[in-house]
Structure 1
């Protein structure tokens, strides 16, 4: 799994227990999944269709740094299915896992659009070798 993004847990990210608010973390994950899908599908119009069971395993406190990892599970006709792991960079513990996040590729009218992708591509692969 590739960990693309790090977030610093700030006071405004905390719940009443003084730990990272789950809703804030889910917003970060949703944004990361959307960015990943946009880059892979080469289309800025993607939406979250489905997120499977969210398994909270540990937490983070103010000042901790969390990393968000995304990996492709599979490519559908007009979708991409991702999985996610969030880990605490400070304690090395997994904070959360999500096995399936389905992102759907859309056309200009908001309808699902086949994307023709079947494997993960990296920007360097799209630019050609130098």
Structure 2
């Protein structure tokens, strides 16, 4: 059994200045670009916790709450909320800041799951996560319910994959 680690040890931050090429026709950050930032920062939080290479097992949710506009800074904070035997749930909070006024808003939240890989490329054991702050405890205590929903969704996804198969409608 591995020694458990405090959640704060996985905390990872990423920030970027939003330029016109990063935006869509509404002059807001492309959703796909934000999704890439989320996966990047969350994967690094999972690696920081496990000290192993990781793979994305699922993106449970990305809730876009506010637009991120050109000329703003987007900042992402990620940390491991809970760890199973080989998997880790990571929470990501996304902030936007108007660099001219200083106004900041939470513009998105996300939950993702990563699996740590051993030297053989197969899933390997990870340390448990120890929540310390009230916010960390809230997310840690609610993680089993999200894990159950994730498990059900995975079964449904496999059924859909079997139903639709590998052919395209025009074949």
Is 1:23–2:32 an aligned residue pair?
A: yes
Mapped to 2, the partners of 1:106 and 1:3 lie a distance apart of 20
Normalised by the length of structure 1, the TM-score is: 0.81
Q: Which of residues 61, 66, 69 in structure 2 aligns to 1:61?
A: 69
Normalised by the length of structure 2, the TM-score is: 0.63
Conserved in 2, the CA contact under 8 Å of 1:3 and 1:67? no
Matches within 5 A, 1:87-106: 87-90=95-98, 91-98=103-110, 100-106=111-117
**1:77 CA displacement:** 0.5
Aligned residue for 2:123, secondary structure, equals coil
Match of 1:118 in 2: 128
Match of 1:78 in 2: 86
Is there any run of 5+ residues in structure 2 with no aligned partner, and where? Answer: 1-7, 131-171
Is 1:12–2:24 an aligned residue pair?
A: no
Conserved in 1, the CA contact under 8 Å of 2:12 and 2:44? no
CA RMSD of the aligned region, Å? 1.7
**1:3 CA displacement:** 6.4
**1:119 CA displacement:** 2.7
Cα distance change of structure 1 residues 58 and 3 upon mapping to structure 2, 3 Å threshold: farther
Structure with the higher helix share, 1 or 2? 2
Q: Which has the larger Rg?
A: 2
